[in-house]
Structure 1
Amino acid sequence: MSTESPFGLRLKALRQQQGLSQAALAGDEISTGYLSRLESGARKPTERVIAYLAKRLDVDRSAFYIQPSSSSLTQALSLAASTDSSEAIEDLIEVLATSRDEDPLLRWQALWLIERYWHARREHAEELACLEALTAIADDLELPALQCRSKSRLARCLRAKGDVARALEFATSAHQVAKQAGLPVSDEANALLALVSVEAEAGRLPDARAHAEELVELVAEGSETLRSEALWTAATVCSRQGDDAAACAFLDQAMAILDSRVDPVLWARLRLAAASLHLQGSPPSTESARAHLNEAEAAFALVGTPVQQQEILALQAHLAFEEGRYADARAAHSRLDIDKLMLNYRDRIRLQTLDSRLLIVEGHRKEGLARLKHLGEDARRAANLDLAAEIWQILAETLEHTAAG
């Protein structure tokens, strides 16, 4: 089992910085196997070995323990980690961009904080760049926990952007790392959360359901938050499979488990999910959807973010359409600035689908049908097969309805 040490991490970083293989650094006096164990922390160096390696690397022995150039980055990282201030994170971004510090572990820690900052602001390009860098550093360090966490979050980000193929690659890798390294339940659960969501998006519903059941069992003794997220994920998979009864049962259980005082944001998001689920039913349950949407709206009035306000407005538009209040649906849709949407890929496509249906109702039948066909093709090309099927079904039903009319 690996027990990474500061010495081992610095030794590996210094070797890689100089472009040396383990064999080249080991030379004639130590074996590559011994050097590998030093880097992993499995062996402690003797004074003779430290002196030998310092000479081979042409550095002072203090380089294995202290990095003089890291002071500004270390200070900025400490300040950012100890406050919720946006200014501190912005300072960290600036320092990291100009820092010549080559300590990969320090850079990983800084990027992890910065990624959360970009995620909260829905700056997807910056978030993706951070996650790509985090994953590369974690792979170079060969630290399973960091690999799992980086790849799980990268998979979620790629899924939200609609890049399902790459998301599946990283989610699968994160899950494999968690299992093989025997990581804590929280890491394995987060990897499974990412994997199930991506598999569902890719239309691999049998795999997604099997992994969702594994996830629910894994976190059975976990925290309220983790159990609720697992049940929500299982509900999503069941909904994609058309098993609305099972989906509602899972989501009802998730909402019953979580106290609003434990995680008010997740509590409200579960109700948004329930409203969306009821609107997608066949037939839609508009009364239940309205009740859950009202609960979420009241909660997000206190703790909501701009993206959640957009989600509420989008669901209000969908609800109005299903209730036949087309003018209200158009009004709600018009309040959303399409150029500034922070919704994920699936919700954006659904909003465009709603716009197409409204165009048909408003008398622009040819344009509305053409847009629906285009959206269906886009979803198919993005490998969102169940979303594509949903759009094609709406298109077919619309054609049947307009023909009958």
Structure 2
Amino acid sequence: MPDQRPDQGRAESAVPDQPAFGRQLRALRQQRGLSQAELVGTALSTAYLSRLESGQRPPTAKVIKLLAERLGVPADAFAVAPPQGLGEVVAKAASAPRPDDAVPALRQALAEANAADAGSRWHALWLLAEIHTRRLERTEALAVLHRLVALGDDIGDPELRVRARNRLALCHRSLGEIPAAYAVAQQALALADEHPVPADDAARTLLTLISVEAELGRLPDARAHADDLRALTADRTGTLPVEALWTAATVRIRQGDDAAALELLHQALHRLDSHDDLVLWLRLRLAAASLCLQMTPRQVEEAAARLDEVRPAVALVGTPLHNQEFLLLSAQLAYQQGRDEAAEAASAGLEPTEHLLTFRDRVRLHLLRNQLLLRRGESATALANLRDLARQAHEAANIDLAAEIWRTIAEAPHQPAS
């Protein structure tokens, strides 16, 4: 189709200027999930639309009317406000009731930002990483966090460098990239030790590192850092002392010191009221139920009590991830109680959205499914699956999780050789 420029005699005063019109047109099209060809159909050429969006051609009044109709917006939707500075975009995004809606504006403002405006660029990247993390878009978050770390290094501020690395390490961990998480967490700790950073940043750094060390099987290091963390937060108020106790309990369970772990866990549970921080209160009880199901012998009754306790909060303030974690724990609990049908039903309910879970919880879900196969007598299939699962955990350097799978294999009834 030849390039079309309808209505050459348009009234200039009624038509927005380029390139602002093109940016607004592209944004409206992308918000509706339309390709250029889908938007224009046979009315215009995609080449002409491309030139409009790039700002190379001015629109006519007739084209504006046509595009507005196809996009389902009034013609004045193309009226573009004066360009906003990055600082203004960041301020609006940070204070918006729905920050997710600010993603296109943040990306555009970042692309057009002056290199000298490093502080606002860092804040914009931080907000983008938070949004992607909340949406469980972990790969997208990882890309933004790498940019955040690089920019923090350019700025040179120790606090920004530590915070960016903490977030990056946690993102790597959620993706099952444990060696990468460990390397970044070590960098964060070295920076926190070398420079005077706020105590909260130092504590967050230790929290991140301990969680990674535990999964790597570096339990003596994790235990020493957990003790450091408890000492650092002992006299503090707020949620950090609770998280320190929770983390120390996790390490002790991995070391087989279940009695000490249970004591620390109870201290954490009793120290935090739901009115202090309802989401952390919820997360702590989910974690407590998980830890109780990892103890030897398993504390099945307490795990059930914690899940019953947290059920209303999950319904009230739980995110999609909290709901998935709750369902996984319910399935694991049902398995331990011998209610295999309930465990299988909960496991099946997770299947459509199991990708929302972290790498570690996805592995635990597949471990549970194969434990159920073992109970049904399908040993050959289950054991083959479990060996593959152990390999995945080992390749991810999640030594603790791999060891748990190998224990399941060792304890499983094996079919006699034919």
Fold shared by both chains (TM-score > 0.5) = yes
> Is 1:305 matched with 2:319?
yes
Which amino acid in 1 is paired with 2:122?
W
Task: Report how far residue 100 of structure 1 moved.
Answer: 4.0
Question: Could you tell me which residue of structure 1 aligns to residue 358 of structure 2?
Answer: 344
Cα deviations by residue, 1:334-383 (Å, 9 ceiling, x for unpaired):
00135543111211111100011112223322111101111111111111
- TM-score scaled to structure 2, two decimals? 0.77
Picking from 222, 235, 250, the partner of 1:208 is: 222
Is the 1:76–1:91 contact (alpha carbons within 8 Å) kept by the matching residues of 2? no
2:347 to 318, 324, 333: 333
Q: Aligned partners of 1:87, 1:128: CA distance in 2, in Å?
A: 17
2:296 partner SS: coil
Q: Which residue of the partner structure matches residue 318 of structure 1?
A: 332
Equivalent pairs counted in the alignment come to 334
Secondary structure at 1:399 match in 2: coil
C-alpha separation between the residues in 2 aligned to 1:248 and 1:221? Answer: 22
* Residue 114 (structure 1) aligned with residue 128 (structure 2): yes
What do the CA deviations read for 1:30-74 (whole angstroms, capped 9, x no partner)? Answer: xxxxxxxxxxxxxxxxxxxxxxxxxxxxxxxxxxxxxxx994322
8 Å Cα contact 2:203-2:232 kept in structure 1: yes
Q: 1:287 pairs with 283, 298, 301, which one?
A: 301
In angstroms, what is the RMSD of aligned CA positions? 1.7
Gaps of 5+ in 1: 1-68
Counterpart secondary structure, 1:186: helix
- CA distance in structure 2 between the aligned counterparts of 1:166 and 1:80, rounded to whole angstroms: 30
Tell me, yes or no, if structure 1 residue 105 matches structure 2 residue 119. yes
**Are the aligned partners of 1:175 and 1:191 in contact in 2 as well (CA < 8 Å)?**
yes
Between 264-273 and 209-218, the greater mean CA deviation after superposition: 264-273
Counterpart of 1:78 in structure 2 is 91
List aligned pairs for 1:135-146, cutoff 5 A. 135-146=149-160
Tell me, yes or no, if structure 1 residue 245 matches structure 2 residue 232: no
Following TM superposition, by how much is the alpha carbon of 1:319 offset from its aligned partner in structure 2, in angstroms?
Answer: 0.7
* Mean Cα deviation higher: 241-250 or 309-318: 241-250
Question: Which of 83, 106, 112 is the aligned partner of 1:93?
Answer: 106
CA distance in 2, matches of 1:293, 1:349: 21
Q: Tell me what 1:388 maps to.
A: 402
Bigger radius of gyration: 2
Counterpart position of 2:378: 364
Post-superposition shift, 1:393? 0.4
Does the C-alpha gap of structure 1 residues 362 and 83 become closer, same or farther in structure 2, counting only changes over 3 Å?
same
SS at 1:183 equivalent: coil
SS state at 1:314 partner: helix
Of 253, 257, 276, 2:290 maps to 276
Letter in 2 for 1:98: A
Q: Who is 1:178 aligned against?
A: 192
Name the aligned partner's letter for residue 218 of structure 1: L
The Cα offsets for residues 241-270 of structure 1, whole Å up to 9 and x where unpaired, read as 111111111111111111110101111111
1:235 has 2:249 as partner: yes
Residues 342, 213 of structure 1: CA spacing in aligned structure 2 closer, same or farther, 3 A cutoff?
Answer: same
Match in the other structure for 1:219: 233
Report which stretch shifted further, 93-102 or 300-309.
Answer: 93-102
Counting aligned pairs with the same residue, the percent is 45
